[in-house]
Amino acid sequence: MVQGFIQIILTLILVILITPILGSYIANVFLGKSTFLDRFLKPLEARLFPLFGLKIIEATNTTGVQYAKDVVASNLIMGILVFSILMLQGFLPLNPTELDAPSWDLALHTSISFLTNTNQQHYSGETTFSYGSQVLALGFLMFTSAGTGLAVAIAFIRGITGKRLGNFYVDLTLCITRILLPISIVGAIVLIISGVPETLSPPITVTTLEGANQVIATGPVAHFEIIKELGENGGGFFGINSAHPYENPNPFSNLFTILAMMSIPTSLIYTYGVFAQNKRQGWLIFWMVFSIFAFLVVISAVGEYQGNPLVNNLLGDTQPNLEGKEVRFGWSQTALWAVMTTGTMCGAVNGMHDSLMPPGGFSVLFNLFLQIVWGGQGTGTAYLFIYLILAVFLTGLMVGRTPEFLGRKIEKPEIVLASVILLVHPIAILIPSAITLAFPETLAGISNPGFHGLSQVVFEYASAAANNGSGFEGLGDDTLWWNLSATFSLLVGRYVPIIALLLLADNMSRKQKVPLNAGTLRTDTKLFTGVTAGVILILGALTFFPVLALGPIAEGFAF
């Protein structure tokens, strides 16, 4: 037990150390300051940007409406392109296993899933999509969807700190060329060294010790794997994702991909502190989120270490719960990964969520419901500040102080947009979940009755709406109903909040800054940070408390 928790603690220390380094670098990139990559990339950008009629950083600043239009228009074009590639994969190159096109509804769900940075998979990659589809279509979206979320977060941070939003196409290009691509190149090399394959050779047929023939799938995995984690994508090259030895072969690759998964979501909070010229507030927010995160890690790890009481009674001894886990990672690294992947909205898995004990099931669902521990690629940081804005407004009403955030008044339009952002999430989860559960045999495809079956269904829609992509599994989800209903949650959960975030940031950027006075409510104090944590738990957690009570909490009491 002690060794397992030491591994968790050391991993979290590394995450904390990375945060200010990468956070400062991201801030410098988007503030137009000098970085060590300038000498290599500025000549490239000088040739690239004119092709799109753009200028770096000093480009014409767009409104929130125009920024949102650019996001939606570019994503629409990319989605149509990728859907076409998937439907035509049988005629395209890089298809050594000669796979035919998937069904139209699976191709639609997969295209939109990767387009929205969700990567929810109703298929097994090695038996459904060719190398060409995985690399040229899905791998392409892994960069652009992550870049889109990161660009929106930067625009939002600019807006709430009083700056103009910027230009989406410039921001998207910088996200890819200055952050995602350089780290991915280095990360792919590290993964190749650790044993992850990178090849275009077809699957290998070998003879087993029993004399049977076995086909071993392989492919260009390493470069796919690093952007999967770094970009909070989560879609695996193989069906069992990061539990597969070719995606995650050993404890070193496991640690490396965890750090890649955590680096950008945690660092963006520090980036905000740099933009706002208030690193104190950035660190206070960081530690608030870290505290919630650490609590969820602890209860999940303890639950897995204590094991299944029904099994322990049969054995007459206490054993960790190793069902659905890879022995090379064990209970501790699987529990840590589960909370991290649902906290960062990455969605990659190195063990099966369906096999988690009730505390672990509670934690992963709780993360999907809140979306801010640590949240999705970029957008999670923006959701976090929505709670801050609401905390300022509610606290101001209670104590009779002016509701201001960073010196700018919070008025009715901002509260309406913030409410839309928070209300869209339960709508995209609870309504389709209710319809599905009303027809458990014809629509749901539940493999586990009772409380766990409820969690399976709700988790699938929560994962889609939160742009996470992981699942409790056990569902027969490659059906017309699941593909289309989950697509609804994917689209609503991604684009409605993004549009509202950009409009809210645009409103804040246009407000005249009000000087600090005796009636101003300071937001960079421990007291206010604690109040914000309370608002998060009340507004976020209580919305979904009945689901948690009927799912993992009830399942825990059933043992």
Tokens describing residue 169: 């196409």
End-to-end CA distance of the chain: 22
- Within 10 Å of residue 483's Cβ, how many Cβ atoms? 23
Whole-angstrom distance, CA of residue 281 vs CA of residue 284: 5
Tokens describing residue 419: 């409410």
Tokens describing residue 37: 């990559």
SS3 213: strand
Question: Which amino acid, residue 219?
Answer: G
How do the domains of the chain map onto residue ranges? 2-206+214-558
Q: What is the pLDDT of residue 57?
A: 46
Whole-angstrom distance, CA of residue 370 vs CA of residue 185: 32
- Within 10 Å of residue 542's Cβ, how many Cβ atoms? 10
- Cβ proximity of 335 and 412 under 8 Å: no
Rounded to the nearest 5°, which phi and psi values hold at 398?
A: -70, -35
Tokens describing residue 355: 């096999």
- Within 10 Å of residue 401's Cβ, how many Cβ atoms? 16
- Cβ proximity of 346 and 234 under 8 Å: yes
Integer CA distances (angstroms), 495 to 71, 266, 386, 501, in order: 9, 23, 16, 10
SS3 486: helix
Q: For helices 279-306 and 330-343, give the axis angle rounded to 10 degrees.
A: 140
pLDDT beneath 70, residues of the chain = 1, 51-60, 444, 517-520
SS3 206: strand
- Within 10 Å of residue 394's Cβ, how many Cβ atoms? 18
Q: How many degrees, rounded to 5, is the angle at CA 360 between CA 432 and CA 228?
A: 70
242: DSSP letter:
G
Question: Which amino acid, residue 145?
Answer: S
SS3 409: strand
SS3 34: coil
- For residue 457, which of 356, 111, 426, 476 has the smallest C-alpha distance? 476
Tokens describing residue 521: 């409510």
Tokens describing residue 320: 């960790």
- Cβ proximity of 27 and 274 under 8 Å: yes
Q: What is the pLDDT of residue 55?
A: 57
Integer CA distances (angstroms), 305 to 8, 242, 291, 359, in order: 13, 21, 21, 11
Rounded to the nearest 5°, which phi and psi values hold at 327?
A: -65, -25
- For residue 8, which of 335, 281, 455 has the smallest C-alpha distance? 335
- For residue 138, which of 223, 245, 256, 258 has the smallest C-alpha distance? 223
| Residue 415, Cβ density class (10 Å: 0-12 exposed, 13-18 middle, ≥19 buried) | middle
Rounded to the nearest 5°, which phi and psi values hold at 427?
A: -65, -45
